[in-house]
Structure 1
Amino acid sequence: MKTNFLKFVLPMAVVALGLTSAMSTNAMDKSSEELAPIMGWKHVSGPNPCERVQVCSNSGNFDCTTPDGEQLYAKPISTCLTPLKRNVQ
């Protein structure tokens, strides 16, 4: 009786633990998307390919742009390639 109980309950407990862990990891990924503001850079010609413009939130559905409408980008190393977003237009 005890062996049958363990054979039935133990796999269900392992599955429940796995599902709980997966859901908490997914929630952590979503909360990390809204990090600190990111400096927005625009493409320019010259020795430095990027110029600092303004801070973008990088969360939202609207493009982060300069006042004249140019798209702003994140600058991970030396080139600005990743377009930034913001919450308000």
Structure 2
Amino acid sequence: MKSNLFKFVLPLAVVALGLTSAMSTSGIDKSAEAAPIMGWKHISGPVPCEKVEECSNSGNFDCTAPDDSQLYARPISTCLTPLKRNVE
């Protein structure tokens, strides 16, 4: 009788522990924020972009430089993708 109880209860306990662990870790990625992206400003000269400050690139507000010019992401050599931020 004792061995039948262990054969039935032990697997159920292992499954319950696994399900509890999986449910407790499912919300971890929801609160994580993406890494900041360096914001670049258009300038004239041989190098068309100047590094200014980091932007979160999430949210509804434009990421701007201190002089209120739009900041962009810098793929390769040009600044084409406008960046956003969470706060104004």
**Match in the other structure for 1:55:** 54
**Match in the other structure for 1:66:** 65
User: Structure 1 segments of 4 or more deviating over 3 A?
Assistant: none
**Match in the other structure for 2:38:** 39
For 1:42 and 1:65, how far apart are their aligned partners in 2?
9
For 1:75 and 1:44, how far apart are their aligned partners in 2?
13
Q: How many residues align?
A: 59
Structure 2 unaligned regions, length at least 5? 1-29
Deviation at 1:35, TM superposition (A): 1.7
Cα deviation digits, residues 37-81 of structure 1 (max 9, x gap): 000000000000000000000000000001110000000111000
**Match in the other structure for 2:83:** 84
For 2:85 and 2:31, how far apart are their aligned partners in 1?
16
Please provide the CA RMSD for this pair. 1.7
Secondary structure of the structure 2 residue equivalent to 1:39: strand
Q: TM-score with structure 2 length normalisation? A: 0.63
Structure with the greater alpha carbon radius of gyration? 2
Q: TM-score with structure 1 length normalisation? A: 0.62
Structure 1 unaligned regions, length at least 5? 1-29
Identity %: 80
